[in-house]
Amino acid sequence: ELYNKVLELKGNIRVFCRCRPLNTEEIASGARVAVDFESAKDGELAIRSNTHPRKTFKFDAVFSPQADQADVFEDTVPFATSVLDGYNVCIFAYGQTGTGKTFTMEGTHEFRGVNYRTLAELFQIISERQKLFRYEIRVSVLEVYNEQIRDLLASGTQPNVASKRLEIKQSSEGVLHVPGLVEAHVSNISEVWEVLQTGSNARAVGATNANEHSSRIHCVMVKGENLLNGECIRSKLWLVDLAGSERIAKTEAQGERLKEAQNINRSLSALGDVISALANKSSHVPFRNSKLTHLLQDSLGGDSKALMFVQISPNENDLSETICSLNFASRVK
Ligand code: ADP
Ligand code: MG
């Protein structure tokens, strides 16, 4: 409850910054660390490098390379569980390819990430509330690539079969929906990993580096009924592993590649524009500028809650991308 109050005071958007550790190759090649975590406990990090002036950034939380999946989830859980109280919630991972977006959201079998931990927590709360509420949970897995929406559950176990393209429709009551989208009903946590993996295996194939250039989205749809008074709630939790934010050199990109690069930039910059318009309480929020923001329209703003993980690399060689990501994150605050 206290957490919800803090959220309201600061607006409903929070930004966490997470830095991955140097990997073995970087250590072996003597890579230099350009990020300072001395004040991480106060939500601060600093750029420390000979090539750039010292600059500090402040976030709602900073996770140093030593933070593990459980540490990160501990601060994330209040966002995720709000969905059972009827709030729409969006959790994003933003950053350059290789900085740990997928590690944070999906994790690995050994080091499970926010997606799995959130669903485990939801089922835990559902069992604690079973005398008061009855809940129904369904999960969809989508990919937005090149301004096209694909249903990763529809292509099932055949990753090479392109699933049909989906469109966003608006009902006469103004509710957004995606006709034809597969919604997997999950009734316990052991069913969840399977559904998440099915989506994983069906990711875009055929285009170079499509994985890095697509945003992967898990949508958890909640229907709840209060058994005492019959009141119903409907809410959505969006878990979004965004496309890599690195700038693609203009000289590298031609034809389809160029179009793809422009579309990736379009959805990420549209997301930045939307979140910053919401944070600034601007009267116009440009949801329609990309498929991603259009999809999330009824789950961003209003009394919904959003959390953005800004993922960074500690390596001095990545510093210019790191600074771009930190600036992006500062802009959405
Ligand atoms: P992205 O999705 O942003 O491209 P990944 O999640 O694939 O990045 O991470 C790149 C590599 O770094 C992976 O091998 C991943 O396991 C590892 N990694 C990322 N973050 C961490 C972390 N916090 N701790 C340990 N390994 C990490
Ligand atoms: Mg990834």
Structural domain span for residue 249: 2-331
The answer to whether the complex's ipTM is over 0.85 is yes
Q: What are phi and psi of 246, to 5 degrees?
A: -60, 145
* Per-residue pLDDT at 7: 45
Q: How far is the CA of 28 from the centre of ligand 2 (A)?
A: 23
Q: What are phi and psi of 84, to 5 degrees?
A: -75, -15
Highest mean pLDDT pick, 141-145, 164-168, 199-203? 141-145
Domain count, the chain: 1
CA-CA distances (angstroms) from residue 237 to 208, 240, 242? 30, 10, 15
* SS3 assignment, position 319: helix
- The CB of 94 under 6 Å from ligand 1? The reply is no
Read off the pLDDT band of 251 (50, 70, 90): low
What is the C-alpha to C-alpha distance for residues 77 and 118, in angstroms, rounded to an integer?
7
Per-chain mean pLDDT for the chain:
87
Q: Could you say which ligand is closest to the alpha carbon of residue 108?
A: 1
Q: How far is the CA of 61 from the centre of ligand 2 (A)?
A: 22
Residue 256 has pLDDT above 80, yes or no: no
pLDDT tens-digit map of 8-25: 444 588 999 999 999 999
DSSP string for 84-115 = GGT--EEEEEEESTTSSHHHHHTB-SSSB-HH
- The CB of 325 under 6 Å from ligand 1? The reply is no
Least confident range of 84-93, 201-210, 235-244, 324-333 = 201-210
* Per-residue pLDDT at 206: 44
Tokens of 152: 């990763």
The more confident residue out of 104 and 205 is 104
- The CB of 236 under 6 Å from ligand 1? The reply is no
Residues in a beta bridge with 41: none
Q: Say how many Å lie between the first and final Cα of the chain, rounded.
A: 22
What CATH number does residue 251 fall under?
A: 3.40.850.10
Q: How far is the CA of 229 from the centre of ligand 1 (A)?
A: 46
Read off the pLDDT band of 209 (50, 70, 90): low
* Per-residue pLDDT at 176: 81
Mutation test of ligand 1: which of 17, 18, 20, 264 has the most ligand atoms closer than 8 Å to its C-beta? 20
Q: What is the mean pLDDT of residues 16-41?
A: 96
* Per-residue pLDDT at 174: 72
- The CB of 69 under 6 Å from ligand 1? The reply is no
Mutation test of ligand 1: which of 69, 103, 105 has the most ligand atoms closer than 8 Å to its C-beta? 103
Q: How far is the CA of 23 from the centre of ligand 1 (A)?
A: 9
Q: How far is the CA of 135 from the centre of ligand 2 (A)?
A: 31
pLDDT tens-digit map of 268-299: 989 999 988 888 888 899 999 999 999 999 89
- The CB of 102 under 6 Å from ligand 1? The reply is yes
- The CB of 155 under 6 Å from ligand 1? The reply is no
